Chains A and B, each alone.
Chain A
């Protein structure tokens, strides 16, 4: 069953955070409905494992609920829900990685230091134009990104979060996530060119 969900604009996140502040239990289903498909997809891309993605994503929401219960209403109301939820998802997928490391066939050269310190955050030349038949190859290319680059790349280019949100999600400086996203983009582009897509 495909569940179509429109991308949640920031203002609806504010309304949702306000509703969670007023009555967490009554508003929580709205949070699940708005974000479930995005979180399942993000987890699937991080884990490269569609079968486990739903279980892990359910755990993301359960943890989110129990965390929200401990927050006073004013803190719930002020939450940046989107990056906060992605952060829980990212941390959980990292734990899963730790339990079962992914294959180390990454083709990028990750020495831990960003090669590009600052990038223009405006979309433009650094976006990637695709033909629809290339989509399957994009999935392969994302799957081959190293765990260091994949979250920033997916959040920026696939899930369309701002660098500010990504920095919040990954708990890294904005410059670092910009560099990781860009290096991810170069790696995906190289993968597609190598495969003549």
Chain B
């Protein structure tokens, strides 16, 4: 057994520190931190605090990002030296990994938070109309407010607000531009050619061969509209007349 002195003892018995130690210190100081991360749209700035990720923006100009952040959130954001569990989860999610990322929506109104949580339920390869989100929240007439709330999404990509589109399958607005929105959705598997074909023929729903019916943006159902067993529907009444039941995933009509 080797002989050591007390300083060696001090170094060897130094306490380990929890991974969120620094984030908690920064929370006490009222400062958030940010890192640059890769995403489907290129480099983004990801800001976070002890409560979760607070902002995602394209990283073209970091100074502009810091200014925008202070304006919107009323606190300073500084470049981080180290990643921690929250920023690492955000990086993984932005790479496309299926991970849970803590999100901090304190800056959003209760209605905006409900809209964003609903948008977060829409899975990859799917899209839903603005009016669908409004109806799901019990606010049928609030499609425009839904659009505004999605437009204020502080964490685009992490909360996939790009998956909410117009009822006619045109993409609508997006914080990073309509072209980026369409590109993201196509990359996730949405077939706009098929969706436009369905819309042009006046179909609002698609009947499936298992006796259910869907929104055209429920997965790849729009690509199957002319296959045996499938067909387009112009109204919910038509679906009822065929004895079809609504899909439980996309919930195409009010319950």
Contact = CB atoms under 8 A, between A and B. Distances in A.
A131 B1 contact: yes
B137 interface: no
A30 B81 contact: yes
A1 B10 contact: no
Contacts of A5: 14
Contact of A130 (B4, B14, B81): B4
A157 interface: yes
A29 B22 contact: yes
Interface of B: 1-19, 21-22, 24-26, 28-29, 31, 33, 76, 78-82
Interface stretch (A59-67, A80-88, A93-101): A59-67
Interface of A: 1-3, 5, 7, 25-26, 28-30, 32-33, 36-38, 40-41, 44, 50, 53-54, 57-59, 61-62, 65-66, 127-133, 135, 138-139, 157-160
A158 B82 CA distance: 28
A11 to B, nearest CB: 19
B188 to A, nearest CB: 35
A28 B29 contact: yes
B6 A132 contact: no
Contacts of B7: 157-158, 160
* The 7 residue pairs across chains A and B that have the minimum distance between CB atoms: A62-B28, A158-B10, A157-B6, A41-B15, A61-B25, A65-B29, A2-B16
B5 A3 contact: no
11 contacts: A37-B16, A37-B17, A62-B25, A127-B5, A129-B4, A130-B8, A131-B1, A131-B2, A138-B9, A157-B10, A158-B7
Contacts of B33: 29
B70 to A, nearest CB: 11
A174 B12 CA distance: 28
Nearest to A62: B28
A88 to B, nearest CB: 13
* Residue among A26, A58, A59, A129 with most chain B CB within 10 A: A58
A32 B13 contact: no
Contacts of A61: 25, 28-29
Contacts of B80: 29
A160 B76 CA distance: 36
Contacts of B13: 41, 135, 139
A135 to B, nearest CB: 6
Contacts of A25: 31, 76, 78
Given A58-B21, A61-B28, 20 more contacts: A7-B11, A26-B78, A28-B31, A30-B81, A32-B21, A32-B22, A32-B25, A36-B25, A38-B14, A54-B18, A57-B21, A61-B25, A62-B28, A127-B6, A130-B9, A135-B9, A135-B13, A138-B9, A157-B6, A158-B6
